[in-house]
Amino acid sequence: MKVNVISRKLIKPSTPTPQNLNKYKISFTDELSPPMNISVILFYPSNPKPILIEESLAKILPQFYPFAGRYIKKDHFVDCNDEGAEFVEAEAFNVELFDLIANTKNDQLNHLLSRQSYQVDNATDPLLSIQITKFKCGGLVISVTVSHTIADVSSIGTFIAAWSNANNPPEGDKTITIGPSFNSPMLFPGKNLENQMEQIKTRDPNIVVKRLLFNKEAIESLRSELNGDDGLFISRVRVVSGLIAKALIGVEIAKHGKSKACVIAQAVNIRGRTIPPLPKHSCGNLAIPSVTKTKDNHIMGFHELVCLLGGAIDKTIADCAEILSLGTEDGCNVIFQSVAKMNERSESGEEMKVLLFSDWSRFGFYEADFGWGKPIWTGIGTMPAQNVTILMDNKEGDGIEAWLHLNHNDWPYLEQDDQMKLFMIA
């Protein structure tokens, strides 16, 4: 696929940001986020309606005022100077949209992004970058890329919902008010922490990403493998995460001849889970990792892993309820301790492999109608780290598409897993 950029410009907010909001000090949870961009990609079929979305973008940017600013790394704040969001128009006329969807390989979708994951946090880098790519068939793709320093994927979902509604307002009693809030720095004040995570400067050629599709029938079949009637009530995300974790541990066994201890971390959205609950459309980084460890020389079955991961998530959700009542210092400490667990060593003192799962389902991406219908598919930009699994909704909303990022040397081992073969589509 060859993508030609036609134009590149900055879209400024339709009204200026008030002076009292011109410095957005990032929160403690923002400081703990990896220095990278995250991207969501929306695919739309052919539609005769004209594309008029720049005005609606300018219209909603005052609500998302940090997104139109620039991050000042040394001072840990966003200069909300209204410099604008990046807006790129492109075309890809050597491939059909449906062929691309059916035959997406590895990091091919990155060509649909205006900014890669590693192009981030320099003084001139836009915090929000959008690319509209038109196809010969009349279809188009919208990619939305945001710096993880100021936003998580829930924040992207809020932004896309607000933007699509502004461009194509619901009629009558279907009107939906989306009011983003940027209060996380008050709840979790920043500590001017220097990010300890290495910032990747280029794409890692050793990372290969492939998709696995778990449709409704597949998930029901996997649930039936779990002991007792409780399996019927285990979420699709937990079922899929448990199966993939089991397979990745199997890769380690195949490589080393034994089971080695590893850390399994799952991002938990704290919105709606604190007391009082944070609003659904709170923006910023408002997720904390649920972390558990496996032991050396202990081979875990599917059911055992699902229970282990589910128990860790349930404990983290229970911790979320207390975070706000503990006060800012103790609340931040709970979050920091969760992150610190990801860097713990095994009982033998060895550094452990981290398997990271992030649930991007149920953020409404398939509802984003800009006026030419809802997406027929959604995708992501490649993550800059190995052993990362991003879980997305399928179009029907009852299954999971798992985007699995592994070292290219590990894929042959995983592809020998007879059960995982059933779900590989790319």
How would you write the chain as a 3-class SS string? CCCEEEEEEEECCCCCCCHHHCEEECCHHHHCCCCCEEEEEEEECCCCCCCCCHHHHHHHCCCCHHHHCEEEHHHCEEECCCCCEEEEEEEECCCCHHHHHHCCCCCHHHHHCCCCCCCCCCCCCCCEEEEEEEECCCCEEEEEEEECCCCCHHHHHHHHHHHHHHHCCCCHHHCCCCCCECCHHHHCCCCCCCCCCCCCCCCCCCEEEEEEEECHHHHHHHHHHCCCHHHHHCCHHHHHHHHHHHHHHHHHHHHHCCCCCEEEEEEEECCCCCCCCCCCCECCCCEEEEEEECCCCCCCCHHHHHHHHHHHHHHHHHHHHHHCCCCHHHHHHHHHHHHHHHHCECCCCCECEEEEEEECCCCCHHHCCCCCCCCCEEEECCCCCCCEEEEEECCCCCCEEEEEEEECCCHHHHCCCHHHHCCECC
Burial code of 124-135, b = ≥16 C-beta within 10 A, e = fewer? Answer: eebbbbbbbbbb
How far is 107 from 265, CA to CA, in rounded Å? 24
Residues designated catalytic: 148, 369
Q: 377 with 369: CB under 8 angstroms? A: no
How far the first Cα of the chain sits from its last, in Å, is: 16
Q: 70 with 124: CB under 8 angstroms? A: yes
